[in-house]
Amino acid sequence: MITAWVQATGRMVGRQSAPVTYALIVACCLIFLISPGSGLNPSYGTGDELIAAQRAYFERWGVVPVELLGGKPRAALTALTALFVHGSWLHLLGNMLFLYVFGVMVEERMGHLQYLLFYLGCGSLALLAYAIAHADSGQTLVGASGAISAALGAFLYLFPKARVTSLFPFLFFLPLRFPAWVVLPFWVALQWAAAGQERQGPGVAYLAHLVGFSLGFVYAWGRRQGPSRVKASGTATEGDSQP
């Protein structure tokens, strides 16, 4: 698998050009910090008490396929709320890194409101698709991976020639630079291979990644935009970083 630090470069983006992306990152981080998942909130206790609190928290705000598809009112909004819930520090930091790198440029290209609706809509649909594929599962599914994968799909369409630096474990973590049209399809192929091996219900939501990526690419393609061009405003910086 790609245990990658992926860095998108080659485009200059203004610091104030992506308020929605930054707000999503802040919201996810704050929610995680006050949740039992972070282990930092003393009100949830420690040991078994903390584990029980984490389980209840994920079941309350995450997608439980059998409940969502069973029509339970409480589960109706979980395809949305689950986008802001993360299971561990690694889960959170990996997702936020990818969101920062790819989301900033996609937001600037799409516009703020459209990007927000795109992010929430594609993310929710990706989780719903995963729930349908695991309709009998009572395990929880949380995280923004489906929405962030949609941003990757849109990025591939909008910025196919952007240079992406990737670190691959099987190549001794040597930093190699390739166009997005090389790196991102390779990432999709890995997700596809992993999804084909899933047998036990929600774990790493590879199918949600694939659905989100496909939705993002198709949505960007459907907008029939011309060659990508991002305006630089104010002090500019290159986006650097990874899903």
pLDDT at 241 over 80: no
User: Could you give the CA distance from residue 93 to residue 125 in angstroms, rounded to a whole number?
Assistant: 23
Using one digit for the tens of pLDDT, what is the confidence trace for 11-46?
444 455 899 999 999 999 999 999 999 999 899 988
- Whether the CB-CB separation of 85 and 142 falls below 8 Å is answered with yes
CA-nearest of 129, 122, 186, 194 to 154 is 122
pLDDT of 136 higher than 70: yes
Calculate what percentage of the chain has a pLDDT beyond 90: 51
60 or 199: which leads in pLDDT:
60
C-alpha torsion angle, residues 235, 6, 35, 150 (rounded to 10): 90
Burial of 76 (0-12, 13-18, 19+ CB in 10 A): exposed
Chain segment 47-67, per-residue pLDDT in tens? 999 999 999 999 999 999 999
The chain-wide mean pLDDT, for the chain, equals: 79
Dump pLDDT digits (tens) for 142-175. 999 999 999 999 998 998 878 765 555 444 444 5
Q: What's the CA gap between 35 and 49, in Å, rounded?
A: 14
What pLDDT is recorded for position 175?
52
pLDDT at position 197 is 60
pLDDT band at 228 (very low <50, low <70, confident <90, very high): very low
pLDDT at 189: 75
